[in-house]
Amino acid sequence: MEWRDEGIVLAARPHGETSVILELFTRTHGRHLGVVHGGVSRRKAPMLQAGNQLDVEWRARLEAHLGTWNVDLRRSRAGAVLSDPLRLSALSAVCTLCGFTLPEREALPDFQMRTESLCDAIVSGEGWLNDYVFWEAALLEVAGFRLELSCCAVTGGTKDLAYVSPRSGHAVSRAGAGDWAPRLLPMPAMFAGAVPSLEGVHGALNLTGHFLAERLAPSLGDRPVPAARTRFLRELGAGHGS
């Protein structure tokens, strides 16, 4: 078995004394793992940093085997954000959440390209916070937990959508909520079409974070949401970048 592809480094874990198990989010083969022999070397280790873009060749005797990677660096992202704690933590959160959420060896070309675009935006430093918010919503959708925020689950209307059901992820209007309003989550202004702001980003990430922790994580064996996301939120609260 042999194929070539391109993808984002999600993680690299030690394997023996000199090798690593490299996890990539590839364009046409999805989230895929393999061994990089000599991956801890001075030449290869810098290429295998989370967020970097690689050209890869995967080989195995049988498709079900772990296989091995041959890798070449296409684009370095990790080094470009080392001096910015907020963007570095955001890039780490993207990679870690992909590894946490995505099924192994399932092609997701649209979401993969969206993830590449987000990583590039983080590196450029322009408009990426807004992109990150909607990327998390898209990640939930890929995992089967789509947020339905365009109309009220009770009335079917599209106006005055003020809440979100914490169970279904469906929008609820003020009129439709009635006495249930205290039990519902607030509708983030960003998801209601408001101009992006730091306050709006916080509100939106509170919503996506609820579904990551209360719906997605339990479906994956009740593993906790990766700490990388918490570190990103901590940096966002500290006010680094924009």
**pLDDT tens digits for range 34-61:** 999 999 999 999 999 999 999 999 999 9
C-alpha span between 234 and 240 (Å, rounded): 10
Q: What pLDDT was estimated at residue 238?
A: 67
C-alpha span between 32 and 146 (Å, rounded): 24
C-alpha span between 124 and 139 (Å, rounded): 22
Look at residues 116, 118, 142, 140 and name the one whose alpha carbon lies nearest to residue 129. Answer: 118
165-184 per-position pLDDT tens digit? 999 999 999 999 999 999 99
Q: What percent of the chain has pLDDT over 90?
A: 93
C-alpha span between 54 and 57 (Å, rounded): 10
Q: In which order are the strands placed within the sheet that holds 161-164?
A: 171-173, 161-164, 185-186
Band of residue 241 on the pLDDT scale cut at 50, 70, 90: very low
Task: Say if CB 119 and CB 74 are below 8 A apart.
Answer: no
Band of residue 193 on the pLDDT scale cut at 50, 70, 90: confident
88-138 per-position pLDDT tens digit? 999 999 999 999 999 999 999 999 999 999 999 999 999 999 999 999 999
Band of residue 196 on the pLDDT scale cut at 50, 70, 90: confident
Q: Which residues pair with 21 in a beta bridge?
A: 13, 35
State if pTM tops 0.85. yes
Structure tokens at 45: 């280790």
Q: Which residues contact 127 (CB under 8 A, 6 or more apart)?
A: 121
Q: Which residues contact 25 (CB under 8 A, 6 or more apart)?
A: 7, 8, 10, 31, 95, 98, 102, 112, 115
Angle at 158 between CA 155 and CA 160, to 5 degrees: 90
Q: What pLDDT was estimated at residue 31?
A: 98
Task: Say if CB 101 and CB 216 are below 8 A apart.
Answer: yes
Task: Say if CB 189 and CB 203 are below 8 A apart.
Answer: yes
